[in-house]
């Protein structure tokens, strides 16, 4: 049966050239997508799998997650090719794309894809793995949009991610982005096989999540009257910025992301970056205020008081509500950029330091150690609910508990130090993976993309054992100067393609020239989806022509 079908297609190809039996032209894509799968084999002279209106996407009956994934694939196929295919549970027969879970695949996010003219079989170790497989199928389709039939090249893919943690941060504190737009961002992450959305929810310039026990956080803290017009400027724009997410809206984001196998990690940044909370509840600060939600950026000196028992209670209460909303194993509590100016002069902070017997030691002031105590107390609340604390690398300035996971942002060395201290570590250095970094945004074209692409998250100075502590990498968008979706996407794209390849693909398979060739199709997908990308990358193709 199989050989007859193949022969029939071969005859079609012979008689009509690129025209299929339906009379429509056929175009074929490539299995060499972004991120590049670990193993790809395309059989050049074999007939492709042509997607027609009679094609079915099939899943195992009773598996809701696979059913949803099958429907996603049908919608992707429609988007790319214009062809409306059916979704069904009958997996037998030809002209089908069959999705199934195969527990014999060793890697929990691993999948195997086999394409021939008669059938496409996608097997994943888990439903999440099948989801990564359908991303590959989507990106392997030519964007024919009804002008021709789309086909997948015959061949095989065997794939799995290099890192289990593939993250992306969006700061909604400096500028607010709507629930609908965050869903679009989540779709962008899904396209790049990213599995963690790090949602930076609180800042000096705005508190964005409803906390029922502390209503003033959003009544007062989610609003600022204006914003500085440029770095170092003395001018303010007079334009208010406000907005927050209700707990129900946050749960909706969690659900939307989970359907795309993305975990939302909430961040409540403490004890620094808390001015919006202090403006809402001045008694939580060392001086008692008055405070105002920040209208300029940078590292501000007013932080949560480290010696006031009310502050610790506040942090614990907030996190209890946060853990009710977010099922994520990781809960991020910041810990970055907390100046100790106020703590040094605060009676309550100094009394707490004496009570705890904290002493300055080489490399760690007694105030640093008060922060470590504070974070440690908060971590207990997180651990009590079976969750894990995540913090920025400044938590290493004290002696964080062995169970803290560190997000290394200040430098490449911070990641090395964290891994050497045996902390699970996520690599996100400001100079490579902050896609909103103004200095890097001055880079254009291939230089801009190459800066991310050529970054290797696992330093070669680490021992084999220390390397195991690097659990992944993350890209970040901080929104001081990102007010709208155009700028957001311009900063994300196309560098998120480079990011996802360092998160997913084994480094020995990486090659910038080859990546740029594959990026052409990814840019076309961005255009199709209406994503704004940094147009200067087009120069790479104009020069190559
Ligand atoms: C940070 O960029 N302050 C984590
Ligand atoms: Zn204090």
The CB of 526 under 6 Å from ligand 1? The reply is no
The CB of 392 under 6 Å from ligand 1? The reply is yes
332 CA to middle of ligand 1, Å?
A: 12
Say whether pLDDT at 21 is over 60.
Answer: no
Closest CA to 6 of 38, 56, 43: 43
Helix and strand numbers (H, E) in the chain are 20, 22
Non-local CB neighbours of 508 within 8 Å, separated by 6+ positions = none
The CB of 160 under 6 Å from ligand 1? The reply is no
Q: How confident is the model at residue 91 (pLDDT cuts 50, 70, 90)?
A: confident
300 CA to middle of ligand 2, Å?
A: 15
pLDDT at 16: 32
Non-local CB neighbours of 5 within 8 Å, separated by 6+ positions = 94, 117, 118
Least confident window among 67-76, 395-404, 511-520: 395-404
Q: How confident is the model at residue 14 (pLDDT cuts 50, 70, 90)?
A: very low
pLDDT at 245: 99
Q: What tens digit of pLDDT does each residue of 167-193 get? A: 999 999 999 999 999 999 999 999 999
pLDDT at 542: 85
DSSP lists the bridge partners of residue 168 as 197, 475
430 CA to middle of ligand 1, Å?
A: 8
Q: How confident is the model at residue 399 (pLDDT cuts 50, 70, 90)?
A: confident
Tell me which H or E stretch contains 405.
Answer: strand 405-408
Closest CA to 174 of 237, 224, 246: 224
268 CA to middle of ligand 1, Å?
A: 13
Sign, CA torsion 435/441/445/446: negative
For the chain, the average pLDDT equals 94
Rounded to two decimals, the pTM is 0.95
Which percentage of the chain shows pLDDT scores above 90? 91
pLDDT at 22: 58
Mutate to test the pocket of ligand 1, among 333, 337, 427, 482 (most ligand atoms within 8 A of CB): 337
pLDDT at 39: 98
Say whether pLDDT at 318 is over 80.
Answer: yes
CA-nearest residue, atom 2 of ligand 1: 409
Q: What tens digit of pLDDT does each residue of 213-256 get? A: 999 999 999 999 999 999 999 999 999 999 999 999 999 999 99
* Stretch 288-305: mean pLDDT: 97
pLDDT at 1: 28
The CB of 336 under 6 Å from ligand 1? The reply is yes
Q: What tens digit of pLDDT does each residue of 152-165 get? A: 999 999 999 999 99
pLDDT at 544: 54
Residue with tokens 């008081």: 305
pLDDT at 545: 54
CA-nearest residue, atom 1 of ligand 1: 336
The CB of 226 under 6 Å from ligand 1? The reply is no
pLDDT at 20: 47
pLDDT at 4: 32
Least confident window among 14-23, 232-241, 378-387: 14-23
Pairwise CA distance, residues 238 & 225, whole Å = 7
pLDDT at 540: 86
* Stretch 269-284: mean pLDDT: 98
Ligand nearest to the CA of 437: 1
As given in the structure block, the two tokens for residue 93 are 């027969």
Say whether pLDDT at 466 is over 90.
Answer: yes
């Amino acid at each position: 049966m199989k050989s007859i079908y193949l022969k029939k297609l071969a005859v079609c190809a012979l008689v009509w050239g690129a025209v299929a039996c339906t009379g429509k032209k056929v175009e074929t894509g490539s299995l060499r997508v972004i991120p590049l799968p670990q193993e790809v084999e395309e059989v050049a002279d074999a007939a492709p799998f042509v997607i027609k209106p009679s094609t079915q996407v099939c899943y195992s009956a009773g598996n809701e997650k696979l059913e949803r994934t099958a429907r996603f694939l049908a919608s992707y196929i429609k988007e790319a090719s214009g062809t409306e295919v059916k979704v069904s549970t009958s997996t037998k027969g030809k002209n089908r794309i069959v999705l199934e879970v195969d527990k014999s695949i060793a890697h929990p996010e691993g999948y195997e894809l086999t394409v021939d003219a008669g059938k496409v079989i996608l097997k994943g170790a888990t439903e999440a793995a099948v989801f990564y497989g359908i991303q590959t199928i989507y990106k392997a389709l030519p964007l024919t949009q009804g002008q021709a039939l789309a086909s997948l090249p015959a061949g095989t893919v065997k794939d799995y991610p290099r890192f289990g943690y593939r993250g992306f941060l969006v700061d909604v504190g400096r500028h607010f982005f709507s629930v609908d737009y965050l869903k679009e961002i989540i779709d962008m992450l899904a396209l790049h096989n990213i599995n963690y959305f790090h949602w930076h929810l609180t800042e000096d310039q705005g508190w964005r999540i409803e906390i029922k026990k502390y209503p003033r956080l959003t009544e007062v803290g989610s609003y600022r009257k204006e914003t500085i017009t440029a770095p170092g400027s003395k001018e303010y724009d007079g334009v208010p910025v406000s907005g927050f997410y209700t707990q129900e809206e946050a749960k909706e984001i969690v659900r939307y992301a989970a359907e795309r196998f993305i975990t939302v990690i909430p961040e409540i940044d403490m004890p620094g970056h808390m001015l919006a909370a202090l403006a809402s509840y001045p008694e939580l600060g060392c001086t008692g205020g008055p405070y105002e939600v920040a209208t300029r950026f940078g590292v501000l000196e007013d932080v949560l008081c480290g010696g006031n028992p009310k502050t610790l209670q506040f942090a614990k209460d907030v996190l209890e509500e946060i853990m009710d909303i977010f099922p994520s194993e990781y809960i991020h509590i910041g810990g970055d950029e907390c100046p100790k100016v106020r703590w040094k002069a605060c009676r309550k902070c100094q009394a707490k330091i004496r009570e705890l017997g904290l002493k300055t030691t080489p490399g760690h002031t007694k105030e640093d150690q008060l922060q470590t105590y504070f974070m440690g107390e908060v971590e207990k609340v997180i651990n009590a609910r079976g969750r894990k604390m995540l913090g920025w690398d400044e938590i290493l300035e004290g002696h964080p508990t062995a169970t803290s996971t560190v997000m290394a942002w200040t430098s490449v060395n911070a990641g090395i130090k964290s891994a050497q201290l045996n902390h699970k570590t996520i690599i996100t250095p400001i100079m490579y993976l902050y896609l909103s970094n103004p200095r890097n945004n001055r880079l254009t074209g291939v230089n801009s993309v190459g800066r991310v692409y050529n970054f290797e998250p696992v330093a070669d100075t680490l021992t084999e054992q220390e390397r195991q502590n690097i659990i992944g990498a993350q890209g970040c968008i901080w929104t001081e100067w990102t007010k709208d979706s155009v700028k957001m996407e311009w900063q994300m794209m196309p560098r998120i393609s480079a990011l996802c390849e360092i998160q997913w693909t084994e480094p020995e398979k990486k090659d910038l020239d080859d990546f740029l060739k594959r990026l052409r199709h990814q840019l076309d997908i961005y255009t199709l989806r209406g994503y704004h990308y940094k147009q200067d990358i087009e120069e790479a193709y104009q020069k190559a022509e």
